[in-house]
Structure 1
Amino acid sequence: MFLLKLFVIGLLYGCCAAKEEDVLEFGDDEFDSRIAEHETALVMFYAPWCGHCKRLKPEYAKAAEDLVRNDPPVALVKVDCTEAGKETCNKNSVSGYPTLKIFRNGEYSQDYNGPRDAVGIVKYMKAQVGPSSKELKTVDCLEKFLTADKETAVVGFFEKETELKGAFLKLADKLREKVRFAHTTFKDLLDKQGIQDGVVLFRPLHLQNKFEENAVKYEGKPNSADLNDFITENYHGLVGHRKPDNREDFKAPLFVSYYNVDYIKNPKGTNYWRNRMLKVAKDFKGKATFVVSAKDDFQHELNEYGIDYVKGDKPVVAARDAKNQKFVLKDEFSVEALEVFVNDVLEGNLEPYLKSEPIPDSQNEPVKVAVAKNFDELIVNNGKDTLIEFYAPWCGHCKKLAPVYDELGEKLKDEDVVIAKMDATANDVPPLYEVRGFPTLYWAPKDAKDTPIRYEGGREVDDFLKYIAKHATNELKGYDRKGNPKSEKTEL
C-alpha cells in the first residue's frame, strides 16, 4: 500500500511537473540563440517576488501545455529579470512585472495585450500563428473546423477572385485574435453550400437553438466595414455566453442572467435557462443585449448589484440601461417576469439600484462624507466649489493622506468650499468621476459640476491650498490667489 501511494504521488507530481516543463526558461547567455529556434514565442519577463507573476504562473503553465502541442506550436518562455535574465530584460525595455511580449523567429514582434488566464492565452496565441483564414479543401475539413472549438466561425465560399473575397481576407487579418476564419475555393464545398461567392457565419453547436438560424449568410456590400458590422451583430446571437475575456463585446442596454453556466459539465442544464431567456430576447432584437454568465465568474459584479450570492439553480437577472444605471429583477425568474422587467427597464419605469452606505446622521466634521444617496445634494447641488477624494479603506496611500486632508478641511471650514470624501468601494461613483486607483481626487467648480477636473497636484496641505486658492470661483476669504494667508491689514 505504501508503494502504491508513492506511485500515485509520483504520477501526480509528474503531471504537475510536465506542465511546468512546457514553459522554457532562458537566461542572458542563451536568450538570443534559443528564441530564434521558435517561429512564434510568447515571453514572460518576471520577478520571483512579484504577486501578479505568481498568480499568472499556473495559468501560463497550463497554456504552455496546450500550445506546445498546437500545429504549428507556440513556445511559452519566461525570463527572470532579477537574476539570469537581467540584461535581456533591460534590452527589451521591461519596466514592470510581468511584461509579456511576442517574438517571431527570434525578433520582437509586438506586446502581448491578451487575457491573463490559460484559456484566454491559448486562444490569443493560436490566432498569432498560421494564416488568418484557414483554407478548407474537403467537406470533412469544414466539419472539423466548425466543431474543433466551441466558438463562432466565419467561412468564405469563393469560386474565383472577387471583391468580397479580398474584403474577407483583409478583415480576417484584422480580427484574427477574436474571430475564427476559414475559406474555400473547392467545388465540392461550394456545391454543398450552394454558394459561389459568399460568407456564412456558423454558430457553435452548443449555442444552436430553435429561436434563430444556426448559420447566417452575409447579404451586404463587398467591403470589410460592412462585413465587420455583420459579424459584430451576429457573432453572439440573441443570447450570448458572456465570459471574463469577452465581456467588452456586450453593450448596454444589457440584461444578464447569472447562474451555474457550464457548457463542459452541464450543457443541457445551462441551455435550459438560456432557452427561457431566448424566448424573451427574440422580441427585443435590436433594442437590447441579452447574455448568460457564470455566477462564480462574476461574483464581484453581482456584489455591485447588492447580491452576495445566487441561491439555488434559478438565475438572478440584473441589467444596465442606456445611461448605465443598474437594475435587478426582484421577482423569481420566469419568462413572464423577465419580459415585464425588460419592458420596465427600457421604458424607464423602474427606480435604479444604487449601491450606497447610509447617509451620515450629521456632517459636523470639516471633511464632509459623501455616499451615493447624498452625492447630488452634498456635491453636485451644494452651490459651492468642491474638492472630493475617492478612497478605499484598505489603501495605504489613502491612510497617509487622511490627516493631511483633515487639516485641509479644518483650514477651509469657513470658506465657500466643500472638502469631501467618499468610500468608492462601498458606493456607486457617478460616471463623471472616473476612479481607477486610490486615492483619486476631483475638483468640481460650483458653476461647472458637469465637468469635474481630476486633481493631479501634490498631496501636502500647502499643495491643496495653493490649488484651491488659484482655482476657486471667488477669491478665498483667508488666502490670496497664490495661497498665501491674508493678514488682518490686508483684510481691512
Structure 2
Amino acid sequence: MDSWLLSVWLLLLLGASGLWGQSPGPGGPSEEPWKEVPEEDGILVLSNRTLGLALRDHPALLVEFYAPWCAHCKALAPEYIKAAALLAAESATARLAKVDGPSEPELTEEFAVTEYPTLKFFRDGNRTHPEEYTGPREAEGIAEWLRRRVGPSTTRLEDEKGAQALIDAQDVVVIGFFQDLQGEDVATFLALAQDALDMTFGLTDQPQLFQKFGLTKDTVVLFKKFDEGRADFPVDEELGLDQDDLSRFLLTHSMHLVTEYNSQTSPKIFGARILNHLLLFINQTLAPHQELLAGFREAAPPFRGKVLFVVVDVGADNSHVLQYFGLRAEEAPTLRFINMETTKKYMPADQGLVTAASVAAFCHSVLGGKVKPYLLSQEIPPDWDQHPVKTLVGKNFEQVAFDETKNVFIKFYAPWCTHCKEMAPTWEALAEKYRDHEDIIIAKLDATANELEAFPVHGFPTLKYFPAGQGQKVIDYRGARDLETLSKFLDNGGKLPEEELSEEPLAPFPETAANSTVKPKEEL
C-alpha cells in the first residue's frame, strides 16, 4: 500500500514539473526555446521568437522585411544572397537576415513596416532604434554599406607614399585634411563617408601632407583622374563643415563635365541635385556627330554646378529619353534643356551647328528667362472626331475642351497604365450612351505624349469635366469608374451626391526620363 501511494505521488510530481511535456499555469503549452536561428542561403530567417536571439549573437544585423508576393522583393533576393556570400567570404561581423512580413505581423507592427521590401540595420543588439537602410540594391553596394558601418569608412594616411597610393587606386578619391582629428568637422566628414559608397575616402592630420598638397588650413580635397584633376572644399573656420554643402560639392565635382547617359550613369545624373540639365542628342556612330562633342565640352566648365551637361546617344537603347522630349532619332544632332523641378523643356530657336559659343548662348538664354518652354503634342488624327470617344492632343485640346456650347468629359491616360486599360471599355460604353447628346463630348488624351501647361497630370487615369458656358470652373471627377456612376455624374451636370464620392486608385506619373534613383517598393 505504501509503495502504491509512493508511485502515485511520483506520477503527480512528474506531471506537475512538466517532464511529461505538460506546462503548468494558464499560459498554455510551452514552446521549445530556440538555441540557434535557422538559415537559408547564408541569410538568417527570423521570426518573433528568434529576433532577440539574432540580435544577441550578431552585433551588426541588416534585416529585410519582405513579402512572398512582392515583385521588388523577388528582384532583390539574388543580390541579397550574393551580398551575404561576400560578407561571409570576408569573415565580416555583419550578417544579413530576413523576415516574412505577412507571417510576422507583430514584427511589422513593432518596426512600423508599411511597404516591402523594408530594410533596417540593428547595431549592438539595440532593438528600439534601428537605422533605416537607404543604400544600393545590388550585392556589392549592400556589402560596402555594411563594411563602412562596422569598420572604418576612411583610410588613415600617415605619409606621402600612402596618400599617393590611395589617390592612384581609384578614379575618385576624397581626402580630408584636418589639423585636429578629434573635432566635430572630422565627425561630419566620417558620417558622410559612410554613405558616399561610390567614392574612396582618406583622412590625415600630417603637416607634411598639408605641405605636399599646398594646403594651410582644414580642407576636403577631391582628386579625380579626369577633367581638372582636383577640386578643393575649404572648411569654414567660423561655421565649420556643413555635411549637406560638402555632399553637394562632392556629387557635383565627382561627375565628368560631360556625362553620357546610360543605365549605369542615370542614377548619378538624377542624384546630382543639379536641377538644370542640357542634353546633346547625337548618333555616336557618325563621325560628324562625334566632332560636336569638343565644342559641347568646351562650353561646360563655366556652368559646373549650375547646369549638368549630358550626351544622349540616339543609336543606343535610349528611345524612352527621345520619347520624353518628343524627338525622333533622325532629328539628331540637337540640343534640349530641362529643369528637373518644373519639368519644363526648352529648345534652341536656331537649330544650327552645335558649337561652344552656341551651346553657351543657349544656356544663358534659358537661365535668363529669354526662352519659352515648349509643350509636347501629337499631330491631330484625321479621324479624331469620327468615333464615340473623341481623340484629343495638345494641338486641339483648347478648341474642344473650352467650347462653351459643350460639356466635355476628358480621360487623361497613359498607354501603359493598367487602371486606364481596365476602364477603357466603360469609357467607350459611356461615349456610346451619350453619342446623340449634342451638348456632351466624351474624349481621351494621352498625357504622356501631350503636355498641357494649365492642367498637369500626376496620376492615371485622371478625369476632368469642362462644363458648358462662360467662366465655368473645371471639375475633377472623384467618383467610382463604373458606367452607372459616370452616367449619374453627367446627368447631374457634373455633380455627384456626397455619399457617392470615392478615391479610385491611380497609377503615378513616371519619374522623368528613367529616373532610377528612387528605390521601388510595394505597399502592404
TM-score relative to the length of structure 2: 0.63
Residue type of the alignment partner of 1:193:
F
Label 1:135 to 1:67 Cα distance change in 2 as closer, same or farther (>3 A): same
SS at match of 1:319: strand
Q: CA deviation at 1:388?
A: 3.7
Q: Are the structure 2 counterparts of residues 378 and 167 from structure 1 closer, same or farther at C-alpha, using a change threshold of 3 Å? A: farther
Partner residue in 1 for 2:393: 371
**1:424 is matched by which residue type in structure 2?**
A
Structure 1 distance, partners of 2:400, 2:495, is 26
> Any idea what SS the aligned residue of 1:372 has?
coil
1:300 to 320, 323, 327: 320
Change beyond 3 A, Cα 1:139–1:401: same
Correspondence for 1:290 among 309, 320, 327: 309
Conserved? CA contact 2:326–2:449, under 8 Å:
no
Report what 1:255 is aligned to. Answer: 278
Q: Distance in 1 between matches of 2:313 and 2:54?
A: 41
> Are 1:103 and 2:122 matched, yes or no?
yes
User: Does 2:66 match 1:46?
Assistant: yes
Q: Which of 103-112 and 382-391 deviates more?
A: 382-391
Report the equivalent of 2:24.
none
State the distance in 2 between where 1:175 and 1:387 align.
54
Q: Give the drift of 1:214.
A: 1.2
Take 2:293 and 2:220, find their aligned partners in 1: how far apart are those partners? 24
CA deviation vs aligned residue, 1:104-123 (integer Å, no higher than 9, x gap): 23436133334434465455
1:280 CA displacement? 1.2
Deviations 1:361-404 (A, max 9, x none): 3335564433233344444x556876543323454432332343
Tell whether the 8 Å contact from 2:178 to 2:204 is kept in structure 1 after alignment. yes
Determine the C-alpha separation between the residues in 2 that align with 1:60 and 1:309: 39
Q: After superposition, where does 1:20-99 map in structure 2 within 5 Å?
A: 23-28=42-47, 30-68=50-88, 74-80=94-100, 92=111, 94=113, 96-99=115-118
The Cα shift of 1:281 comes to 0.7
2:421 aligns with 399
Q: Deviations over 1:250-293 (max 9, x none)?
A: 434311356899xxxxxxxxx99976533111244565332357
Q: Determine the C-alpha separation between the residues in 2 that align with 1:236 and 1:282.
A: 12
Equivalences for 1:9-408 in 2 at 5 Å? 23-28=42-47, 30-68=50-88, 74-80=94-100, 92=111, 94=113, 96-106=115-125, 107=127, 109-118=130-139, 120-122=141-143, 124-130=145-151, 135-146=156-167, 149-151=170-172, 153=174, 155-159=176-180, 165-167=183-185, 169-170=187-188, 173=191, 176-178=194-196, 182-205=202-225, 208-209=226-227, 212=228, 214-218=230-234, 220=236, 222-223=238-239, 228-229=244-245, 231-233=247-249, 235-237=251-253, 239=257, 241=259, 243-246=265-268, 247-257=270-280, 277-285=296-304, 288-292=307-311, 299-306=319-326, 318-321=336-339, 324-326=343-345, 338=359, 342=363, 348=370, 352=374, 354=376, 356=378, 358-359=380-381, 361-363=383-385, 367-379=389-401, 381-382=402-403, 387-406=409-428, 408=430
User: Who wins on radius of gyration, i.e. which is larger?
Assistant: 2
- Output the amino acid matched with 2:222: F
Counterpart Cα distance in 2 of 1:145 and 1:31: 40
Match of 2:482 in 1: 460
Equivalent residue letter for 1:201: V
Q: Report the residue type matching 1:173 in the other structure.
A: A
Question: Does the 8 Å CA contact 1:41/1:76 hold for their aligned counterparts?
Answer: yes
In 1, distance between residues paired with 2:370 and 2:88? 52
Q: Which residue matches 1:267? A: none
* 1:17 alignment counterpart: none
In 1: Cα distance, 2:134 partner to 2:299 partner: 36
**Contact 2:66–2:118, Cα closer than 8 Å, also in 1:** yes
Aligned equivalents of 1:397, 1:481: Cα separation in 2: 22
| Cα distance, 1:155 vs structure 2 | 1.7
Determine whether 1:423 maps to 2:442: no
Cα distance in structure 1, aligned partners of 2:321 and 2:354? 19
Q: Which amino acid aligns with 1:216?
A: D
Whole-angstrom CA distance in 2 between matches of 1:35 and 1:274: 55
Change (3 A) 1:147 1:300: farther
Aligned to 1:440: 462
Deviation of residue 421 (structure 1)? 2.4
After superposition, the Cα gap between the structure-2 partners of 1:136 and 1:348, relative to the gap in structure 1 and judged at 3 Å, is same
2-side partners of 1:431 and 1:100: how far apart?
A: 40
1:184 deviates by: 2.7
The residue type equivalent to 1:404 in the other structure is T
Aligned mates of 1:185, 1:102 — CA distance in 2 = 32
- Per the alignment, do residues 159 and 101 of structure 1 end up closer, same or farther by CA in structure 2, a change over 3 Å counting? closer
RMSD: 4.9
Alpha-carbon distance change, 481 to 45 in structure 1, aligned in 2, over 3 angstroms: closer
State the distance in 2 between where 1:310 and 1:57 align: 41
How far apart, CA to CA, are the structure 1 residues paired with 2:475 and 2:192?
Answer: 36
Q: SS of the counterpart of 1:354?
A: coil
User: Which consecutive residues of structure 2, in runs of 5 or more, have no partner in the other structure?
Assistant: 1-38, 285-289, 500-524
8 Å contact kept, 2:276–2:308: yes
- What does residue 12 of structure 2 align with? none
Q: TM-score, normalised by structure 1?
A: 0.67
2:177·2:220 contact (CA, 8 Å) conserved in 1?
A: yes
* CA separation of 1:428 and 1:185: change in aligned 2, threshold 3 A: same
Change (3 A) 1:386 1:101: farther
Asked if the contact 2:479–2:496 (Cα under 8 Å) also holds between the matched residues in 1, the reply is no
Specify the code of the residue in structure 1 equivalent to 2:446. Answer: D
C-alpha change, 1:339 and 1:480, in structure 2 (3 Å) is closer
User: Which residue identity does 1:218 align to in structure 2?
Assistant: P
Determine helix, strand or coil for the equivalent of 1:232.
helix
Quick one: distance in 1 between partners of 2:181 and 2:77?
47
Count of aligned pairs between the two proteins: 435
Determine the C-alpha separation between the residues in 1 that align with 2:130 and 2:291: 45
Q: Secondary structure at the match of 1:324?
A: coil
Q: Distance in 2 between matches of 1:358 and 1:72?
A: 62
- How many angstroms does 1:218 deviate by? 2.0
1:116-150, Cα deviation, whole Å (9 max, x unpaired): 34465455555544466665444445445545554
Q: Which amino acid aligns with 2:137?
A: R
Give the distance between the partners of 2:295 and 2:58, measured in 1 at CA: 48
Q: CA separation in 1, counterparts of 2:240 and 2:91?
A: 28
User: What's the % identity of the aligned pairs?
Assistant: 29
Q: Is the 8 A contact 1:390 1:423 kept in 2?
A: yes
How far does residue 202 in structure 1 lie from its aligned partner after superposition?
0.7
RCO greater where, 1 or 2, for CA within 8 Å and sep 6 or more? 2
Would the aligned equivalents of 1:359 and 1:373 in 2 still touch at CA under 8 Å? no
Q: Using the alignment, how far apart are the partners of 2:497 and 2:131 within structure 1?
A: 47
